[in-house]
Amino acid sequence: MGAWKYILKKFFQAFLTLLFVLAVNFFLFRVLPGDPAKSVARSLKLSLEDTQKLRVEFGLDQPVFPNQFVLYVENTVTGNLGTSYITARPVSEAIATRVWWTLLLVGTSTVLATGLGIIVGIKGAWRRGGTFDVGSLGVSLTLYSMPEGWLGMMLLTFFAVTLHVFPAGQAQSAPPPAGAIPQFVDILNHLFLPCLTLTLGYIGEYSIIMRASLLETINEDFVGTARAKGLLDKNVRRHHAVPNALLPIVTLVVLNFGYILGGAIVVEYVFSYPGLGAFTVEAINANDFPVIQGVFLLTSAAVIFANFIADLLYVYLDPRVREV
Amino acid sequence: MKARSIRAFGLLVTLAVLSWIPAAGSAQGQTPAPSTDKLIFTVGVTQDMLNISPFGASGLSDRETLSMNYDLLLSFDQKTLAAAPGLAESWTHNENNTVWTFKIRDGVKWSDGVPLTAHDIAFTFNFILKTPPNEYIAYLGKETEPTFTAPDDQTFIWKTKKPTLAPLAPAGVPILPEHIWSKYTGDWKAAEHFRNVPAVGTGPFHLVEWKEGQYWRLEKNPDYWGGTPTIDEVVFRVYDNQEAMVLALKTGEIDFAEGIKASLLPTLDGIANVTTWEAGSTTNANLAFGLWQPSLGSHYKGFGGETPTNNPALLDPTVRIAIAKAIDKQALVDNVLQGSGSVGSTMLSPQDRWFWDPAANGDTTQDYNPQLANQMLDQAGYKDTNGDGIREDPKTGLPLTFTFLVLTTDPYSSDLGEFIKSWLKDIGMAVTLRPVTENKALDLWYAHDYDGYIWGWSGRPDPDFMLSIFTTDQCDNWSDGCYSNPEYDKLYLEQRAAMTEEERAPIVDQMQKIVYDQVPEVFLIYENDLQAYRNDRFTGFLPSPEPNGPLIYSDGPWSYINIKPLATAGGAQAPTTSKSSGLSPVVWIVIVVLILAIIGAVMLVKSRLSDEDVA
């Protein structure tokens, strides 16, 4: 029963946070200076009266509170994230075409970086001070401190131009090849370099934290007890030390999944990968309120949801939580 | 012993397969199988389309696609941008220029097979009149009260109550199919939201596919009245940054790169199969002065526009002329544009057939001459009375200190500002540069809360719009600084009412001269449009206007219609191959199998080892 109460409590917390985010999201962008109707009017070279008509169409002539806000809440709840001021297309459509590429790129990199990072971190911590440990720590720190953009450009120039082995950016060929398998391979080929860049960038983070966490756990009493009982070294590691050391990693990984939707802006930019990252930056520059609001709402919701999942996982992983 | 032999075996397999991968990979990169036999011309751009409805927000890429997909009533001449036959093969007008009669081509079809008639043309022009707001109204000359009719399928009549030359501009109105667009008449919002992919038009190409953020694709119109294009498809690929686009040009993934920044041009020098093209364009950068006075009134009450904050010294032409003389425009071209541009003078660019050249006409008002500037200011009484290096205005006693806005969203604005600031210091003026975003700048502009700003314009082929921005009427709309000159306003109406282009030309010249001499705005530089293309793929690019206009992203689709593949040793196949690279499916499968094999071998070895390990 304790577990269910805990879950319910966490769910309500998540829900309230989401509502708060909704309100803040709206007012935050209204505080920014700038009138989107005027910048659209300038590019179309509209007359004065037509500019006024635009403002009415955008709903900018109404008071921010309560009219614009109420309209916003109503629309969001029914799944209507509005239409872009710049392209006049529904925001949900613009986000939908891009979010999958971001998920693909950042999701794959995160999975690879997490898996490899954890393995490297465990191996390093278990034989602390050994050649592998010292070597991998050095490499991890170097990779972690490298600017992603620079690393991306280097890989792009080397593999795409010098060796001509991979394409120079983009997510797929234009137009894409016919057939499911060739299309899949085409996407894979285009995904390789940006994914490699991001993975190398993230690996350092996970291996360092896993290593630190495991080192701490090794010094706990229960590990000494396990050894004293005569268990094989690998079993002490696998069944006693690592599961306890994994808890901080779980939090880190799940939180990072939430941030995935923010997109890897720099890497997407370098490789012209059509994800949410660069798109959001353009929208911010153009003061395209509906798009910015939509993306920020999505990212906040993803983080809140990921947090909630982490809380649920803890119920499973850490028995101490259930007793509360 | 067993463990060691397993490891040795694994190592051998690894080495064998690894040595095969580079061979397979590089072979893949050079001879991929083209998926079709089509001739595809691929253009790299940094701006995606925004909205391909002609009534949506129109960026440069939207306009380019519209110019390929649709025809105009009268086209632009490729060499001069004057009016040339379009969908109308000939035209006449009455003595008063109030009735223009056009004979429409026979046998033209829309891309969906429906025949084009004069009714579509009348429909399009009426649609624009009835469906504001849109940018095409400006071409119609609303104040002449035009009416548009089509008495039969091959005749279109443009009738006005007052004389007009508007059809000859020519009017850049894309002709739309009545059977598609009639349901949106009067409803601008619906017209703007209409996706228009695939787009039905009569042009040499039609838009068939658009993947936002990635690419869009046009297929050729094999029955085009202006000549069948040789290439089958044009694909525009969107790049987020120019470095990647230039790399793609080098690897051959694109055939043409549009809109390269000046600093990247040197990286393309000396590459045998790439040709660069620096095209003159109508884009300029200017320093505009805030010239608003309360007598002009304000359209935006409540924005604080009633209390001007612009320094009144700028209302004196002597001060403005002195500022212009203190600016070394050539140095700006050399340092900010890296030589890729030309010195600014009037509001029209040297590309423009209506351009009036001050230098050729002996007008030295804005020639670089800081000593003369200092002299003029001394003689007019602007002296530095308190020794702080800044002159004071004799009328008000206020120092000549100015705040100029620089746009953070413009690539050159702040660089230009820094140079100007240091030059104006030499003639006794103190300038503060205030960086703002475009949106903030617009707010300050509507509130008349600035002394000047550094921004820019992109012109249109017809000079009417650029001339209009200096009229009193355009204050708080398109006027940069609310310059007001009754003589200029009169001339503006005169050139609109001119009966022939020959009559109009001297008036347009005079207007440019007034702006050049009175300096409501200093036109600093004209930017070049930098393009580059693979010279081993296609040939036959046509600059418009001649001699050094852009090859594409100009005012018409001439290059796309005209280009042909270069004959190579491999035959006409050459342009379509090597556009994609990457490992073939076989190589990927081998890599995956290899990784699994290695993991399996390692785990096998380890479990055997630890079995032997005694706890």
Q: Which of A146-150, A320-324, B58-62, B449-453 has the highest mean pLDDT?
A: B449-453
ipTM of this complex: 0.81
Say how many CB pairs under 8 Å bridge A and B.
Answer: 189
- What's the pLDDT score for residue B78? 93
More confident site: B374 or A231: B374
Q: What is the pLDDT of residues A166-193, one digit of tens each?
A: 888 889 888 888 888 888 889 999 999 9
Contact A153 B217 (CB under 8 A): no
Task: Please count the residues of chain B.
Answer: 615
Q: What is the pLDDT of residues B580-590, one digit of tens each?
A: 667 777 788 88
Contact A46 B133 (CB under 8 A): yes
Whether residue B205 is predicted with pLDDT greater than 90 in this model: the reply is: yes
**Chain B environment of A156 (Cβ under 8 Å):** 244, 247
Estimate the share of chain B in helix, then strand, then coil, as percent rounded to the nearest 5: 35, 20, 45
Query: How close does chain A come to B195, measured CA to CA in Å?
Result: 8
Contact A185 B248 (CB under 8 A): no
More confident site: B591 or A38: B591
**Chain B environment of A34 (Cβ under 8 Å):** 437-440, 442-443
Q: Domains of chain A by range and CATH? A: 98-285 (1.10.3720.10)
**Chain B environment of A88 (Cβ under 8 Å):** 51, 53, 56-57, 192-193
In chain B, which among 13-42 make CB contacts under 8 A with chain A? Answer: 25-26, 29-30, 35, 42
Average pLDDT over residues A5-24: 88
Q: Which of A94-108, B210-224, B427-441 has the highest mean pLDDT?
A: B210-224
- What's the pLDDT score for residue B5? 53
Residue A264 and residue A194: Cα distance in Å, rounded? 10
Residue B198 and residue B123: Cα distance in Å, rounded? 21
Query: How close does chain B come to A246, measured CA to CA in Å?
Result: 22
Cα–Cα separations (whole angstroms), residue B152 to A307, B81, B102, B460: 70, 29, 11, 32
- What's the pLDDT score for residue B613? 45
Q: Which of B57-61, B126-130, B465-469, B554-558 has the lowest mean pLDDT?
A: B57-61
Query: How close does chain A come to B239, measured CA to CA in Å?
Result: 5
- Establish if A8 touches chain B: CB-CB under 8 angstroms: no
- When CB atoms are compared, the residue of A43, A168, A189 closest to B248 is A168
Q: Which residue of A has its CA nearest to B586?
A: A185
Provide the pLDDT confidence category of residue B70 given band limits of 50, 70 and 90. Answer: very high
**Chain A environment of B576 (Cβ under 8 Å):** none
Q: What percent of chain B has pLDDT over 90?
A: 54
Average pLDDT over residues A94-101: 88
Q: Which residue of A has its CA nearest to B477?
A: A48
- What's the pLDDT score for residue B24? 41
Provide the pLDDT confidence category of residue B34 given band limits of 50, 70 and 90. Answer: very low
- What's the pLDDT score for residue A233? 81
Whether residue A47 is predicted with pLDDT greater than 70 in this model: the reply is: no
Contact B244 A156 (CB under 8 A): yes
Average pLDDT over residues A50-64: 73
Q: What is the pLDDT of residues B77-123, one digit of tens each?
A: 999 999 999 999 999 999 999 999 999 999 999 999 999 999 999 99
**Chain A environment of B42 (Cβ under 8 Å):** 174
**Chain B environment of A190 (Cβ under 8 Å):** 582
Calculate the average pLDDT of chain A. Answer: 82
Torsion angles phi and psi, residue A150, rounded to 5: -65, -45
Q: What is the pLDDT of residues B94-105, one digit of tens each?
A: 999 999 999 999
Residues contacting residue B593 through CB under 8 Å, at least 6 positions apart: none
Average pLDDT over residues A54-59: 72
Whether residue A324 is predicted with pLDDT greater than 90 in this model: the reply is: no
Enclosing H/E stretch for A204: helix A180-218
- For tokens 């380019």, the residue is B64
Read off the tokens for A292: 């910015």
Q: What is the pLDDT of residues A209-224, one digit of tens each?
A: 888 888 888 888 888 8
Residue A102 and residue A279: Cα distance in Å, rounded? 11
In chain B, which among 294-353 make CB contacts under 8 A with chain A? Answer: 299
In chain A, which among 267-306 make CB contacts under 8 A with chain B? Answer: 268-272, 274, 278-279, 285, 287
Residues contacting residue B396 through CB under 8 Å, at least 6 positions apart: B312, B313
Whether residue A12 is predicted with pLDDT greater than 50 in this model: the reply is: yes
Task: Pick from A29, A87, A281 the residue to mutate for testing the B interface (most B CBs within 10 Å).
Answer: A87
Q: What is the pLDDT of residues B394-441, one digit of tens each?
A: 998 899 999 999 988 787 898 999 999 999 999 999 999 999 887 778
- What's the pLDDT score for residue A234? 80
Cα–chain center distance at B423: 30
- What's the pLDDT score for residue B33? 39
Provide the pLDDT confidence category of residue B568 given band limits of 50, 70 and 90. Answer: low
Read off the tokens for A270: 């370098």
Whether residue B486 is predicted with pLDDT greater than 60 in this model: the reply is: yes
Average pLDDT over residues B256-271: 88
What is this structure's pTM?
A: 0.83
In chain B, which among 515-574 make CB contacts under 8 A with chain A? Answer: none
Rg (CA), chain A: 24
Provide the pLDDT confidence category of residue B525 given band limits of 50, 70 and 90. Answer: very high
Average pLDDT over residues A52-76: 76
Rg (CA), chain B: 30
Whether residue B275 is predicted with pLDDT greater than 80 in this model: the reply is: yes
In chain A, which among 213-242 make CB contacts under 8 A with chain B? Answer: 230-234
In chain A, which among 43-72 make CB contacts under 8 A with chain B? Answer: 43-51, 53-54, 57
Torsion angles phi and psi, residue B91, rounded to 5: -155, 155
Q: What is the pLDDT of residues B1-30, one digit of tens each?
A: 455 555 555 555 555 545 444 444 433 333
Average pLDDT over residues A127-134: 85
More confident site: A82 or A113: A113
